[in-house]
Amino acid sequence: MKLPSLREMLEAGVHYGHTRGHSQPGSRSFIFTLRDNVYVIDLEKTTKKLQEAIEFLNNLAEEDKIILFVGTKKQSKELLEKIAKFFNMPYITNRWTGGMLTNFETLLLNLKRLEELDKYIESEDFEKLTKKEKNRFKENSQRLHQILDGVKGLKRLPDAIFIVDPAKENIALQEANKLNIPVIALCDTNSDPSKIDYPIFANDDSQKSLSLILNAILNNLTSKVKKTSEKKNAKSRAN
């Protein structure tokens, strides 16, 4: 497994945490020191936890388990979606809607509603509507697509959830905890690691830091997982 070196992480600013006043007490075991009132993350512990998280993700993917990827901050959206698609896994990168996990039946109903709405927009009956009515249906469809596109293939609750910035995605974290769904998270010192099964402490505000860690995950997929993903993607394209 090839992981970023300490030098690469330092250059990307992975070690920069939050100020003392904006950090969680539970994060202190992952902190190296306090400098100018800003916590410095212990990168050796980050490396260890990153390795554990990658091994766990690989095991899940090899066993054909479902991993839901969640991260709505602009610095990570594009790369997180790329990783999810590579795994052929569901993802949320626009907005988390409360109850997506704890009220899963409603999510399934919304997915069915979106499918029926898209079919209706393509039908002859739709063409008989006024311009105003058409626009109303199209706007509703666009809104649902923005929220649900990443989870269209989700038929059951995920076996694990990967979160970028659990402090921001606190509702997703709470729902996963309530349902005992394992959580892998890329988190900063403002997160409570006691609620996360695989916490990877890193600067989650810097695009360079996020890219370095997320690319390490993507690049360390085992060949078996890559082959499984390629088979799934080929099957999806055939369908």
In DSSP notation, 97-122 reads: PTTTTTTHHHHHHHHHHHHHHHHHHT
Select the more confidently predicted residue: 230 or 217. 217
0.95 exceeded by the pTM? no
Decide: 213 and 47 in contact? Cβ < 8 Å. Answer: no
Neighbours of 134 (CB within 10 A): 14
Fill in the DSSP letter of residue 96: P
Nearest to 195 by CA among 216, 218, 169: 169
Q: Report the residue count for the chain.
A: 239
Helices (runs of H) and strands (runs of E) counted in the chain = 9, 8
pLDDT at 86: 83
Q: What is the average pLDDT value for the chain, to the nearest integer?
A: 91
Say how far apart CA 96 and CA 172 lie, in whole Å: 7
Say how far apart CA 94 and CA 84 lie, in whole Å: 14
How far lies 58's CA from each of 5, 70, 123, 125, 220, in Å? 21, 18, 43, 47, 9
The upper half-sphere exposure of residue 118, i.e. CA atoms within 13 Å in the direction of its Cβ, equals 13
Say how far apart CA 25 and CA 133 lie, in whole Å: 53
pLDDT at 62: 85
3-state SS, residue 40: strand
pLDDT tier, 233 (very low <50, low <70, confident <90, very high otherwise): low
Say how far apart CA 97 and CA 85 lie, in whole Å: 21
**pLDDT, tens digit, 9 for 90 and up, residues 127-144:** 889 999 999 999 999 988
Percent of the chain with pLDDT over 90: 72
pLDDT at 116: 93
**pLDDT, tens digit, 9 for 90 and up, residues 99-131:** 999 999 999 999 999 999 999 999 999 888 999
CATH number given to 6-97+157-238: 3.40.50.10490
For residues 158-173, average pLDDT: 97
**pLDDT, tens digit, 9 for 90 and up, residues 174-193:** 999 999 999 999 999 999 99
pLDDT at 162: 97
